[in-house]
């Protein structure tokens, strides 16, 4: 895709008024945190009004919001309703699944890419004390992990493969279907983290055949922090008994029974303590625009804008630290050059919203609310700050 699809921009431009920051900033950081929709403030007011009006009797309404937001998140995974739960962050879900496993036998290997987001590696590293063997699959280029290397690392000792759909330092997409197939051949579970891709790349959990999928709201989904989601195959519920738990994971949470816990007989068994209700109001409101547009259209628009970033970077002789082929990349392009960290600070001061990562450079993530003109202005400044204009 070498040019902008002009028919998309007028249709998507009407959503710009829903994101107040766009009035005074060029927002290209949706891969890190999506722009806040004005509906977020309205949702928080609704939360406050419900609480003020009902007091403690608001809990049934809050649980309804939780279910509605979970089912709305499931749509980004093409997952059925009633199989997804919410919590505050993906680290909790990673730890909850890790707490289900027995590392005392020979099947104790945790195979994960070395370029996995450190947040996830922190969790799994701590389970070494319980016998887990952490097998980090190395990268040659600091950008990608060869699929063949992932497949070779998975053997009969492997208990689980907690991998990323999109690698956070480069946006490189991994072959989830192939990795899942290999893991299932040896009886291992697969947990896919889609935080870097949900809302920007079409996802189908049935097509992947993955066992568990986790993600969160504050990147492409524009839902702010505090809302993470987890889907799992229904047949895993009885098999997995989390040691990390809490009253919301109980079959009847308001019974307040003494221990041991009587796990919920559905996906709720992976809940823990008191949920982050205000965040769920926000997420439910934020998802509306994305569902209305559709992830396929968002993807087409994003790839067109990313192509302009790639073209401009190559014309200026800058390093593109992301896969060039669209089918191998999520929604951002990493552009690097000498002095890129200082340049990122200048750009942020000038109200260009982006981020910088070591061994990566500038991460530029246009979303459905961005335009070709914004991309060109941003790249004009990037090229100038790189000393290539």
Contact 334, 322 (CB under 8 A): yes
CB 367 within 8 A of CB 30: yes
The CA–CA distances, whole Å, from 178 to 3, 38, 147, 183, 315 equal: 32, 40, 8, 9, 35
Q: How confident is residue 6, by pLDDT bands cut at 50, 70 and 90?
A: very low
Q: How far apart are CA 204 and CA 210, in angstroms?
A: 10
Question: For the segment 244-268, what is each residue's pLDDT rounded down to a tens digit?
Answer: 999 999 999 999 999 999 999 998 9
pLDDT in tens, 18-39: 999 999 999 999 999 999 999 9
Quick check: 179 and 147 in contact, CB under 8 A? Answer: yes
Residue reference for tokens 């891969």:
31
Q: What is the pLDDT of residues 72-100, one digit of tens each?
A: 999 999 999 999 999 999 999 999 999 99
Residue 268 has a CB neighbour count (10 Å cut-off) of 19
Looking at residue 2, its pLDDT comes to: 45
Q: What is the dihedral of CA 277, 282, 283, 287, to 10 degrees?
A: 150
Q: Point out the least confidently predicted range of 3-12, 121-130, 337-346.
A: 3-12
The secondary structure of residue 22, as a DSSP letter, is G
pLDDT of residue 8: 57
Helix axes 59-75, 38-54, angle to 10 degrees: 150
Give the chain's mean pLDDT: 95
- What average pLDDT score do residues 106-134 get? 97
Instruction: Give me the pLDDT at residue 238, please.
Output: 83
| Whether the Cβ atoms of residue 228 and residue 90 lie closer than 8 Å to each other | yes
Give the pLDDT mean for 304-316.
97
Model confidence, pTM: 0.95
Can you name the residues that pair with 29 across neighbouring β-strands? 365
Residues in the chain: 389
């Amino acid at each position: 895709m070498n040019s902008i699809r002009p028919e998309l921009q007028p249709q998507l431009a009407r959503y710009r008024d829903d994101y107040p920051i766009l009035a005074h900033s060029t927002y290209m950081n949706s891969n890190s945190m999506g722009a806040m929709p004005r509906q977020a403030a309205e949702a928080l007011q609704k939360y406050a009004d419900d609480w003020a009006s009902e007091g403690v009797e608001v809990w049934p309404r809050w649980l309804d919001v939780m279910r509605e937001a979970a089912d709305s998140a499931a749509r980004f995974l093409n997952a059925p309703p009633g199989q997804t739960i919410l919590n505050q962050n993906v680290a909790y879900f990673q730890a909850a699944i890790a707490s289900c496993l027995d590392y005392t036998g020979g099947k104790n290997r945790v195979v994960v890419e070395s370029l996995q987001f450190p947040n996830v590696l922190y969790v799994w590293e701590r389970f070494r004390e319980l016998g887990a063997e952490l097998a980090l699959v190395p990268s040659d280029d600091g950008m990608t992990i060869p699929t063949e290397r992932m497949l070779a690392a998975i053997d009969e000792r492997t208990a689980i493969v907690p991998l990323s759909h999109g690698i956070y330092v480069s946006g490189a997409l991994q072959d989830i279907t192939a990795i899942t197939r290999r893991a299932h051949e040896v009886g291992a579970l697969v947990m896919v983290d889609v935080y870097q891709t949900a809302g920007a790349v079409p996802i189908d959990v049935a097509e992947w055949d993955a066992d568990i999928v986790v993600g969160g709201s504050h990147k492409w989904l524009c839902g702010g922090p505090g809302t993470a989601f987890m889907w799992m195959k229904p047949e895993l519920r009885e098999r997995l008994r989390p040691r990390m738990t809490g009253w919301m994971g109980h079959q009847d949470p308001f019974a307040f029974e003494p221990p041991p816990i009587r796990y919920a007989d559905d996906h709720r068994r992976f809940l823990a303590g008191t949920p982050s209700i205000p965040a769920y109001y926000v997420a439910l409101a934020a998802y509306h625009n994305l569902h209305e547009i559709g992830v396929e259209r968002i993807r087409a628009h994003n790839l067109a804008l990313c192509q302009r970033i790639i073209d401009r970077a190559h014309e200026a002789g800058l390093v593109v630290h992301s896969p060039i082929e669209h089918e191998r990349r999520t929604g951002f392009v990493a552009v690097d050059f000498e002095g890129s960290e200082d340049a990122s600070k200048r750009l942020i001061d000038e109200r260009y919203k982006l981020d910088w990562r070591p061994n990566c450079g500038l991460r530029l993530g246009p979303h459905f609310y961005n335009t070709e003109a914004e991309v060109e202005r941003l790249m004009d400044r990037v090229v100038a700050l790189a000393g290539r204009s």
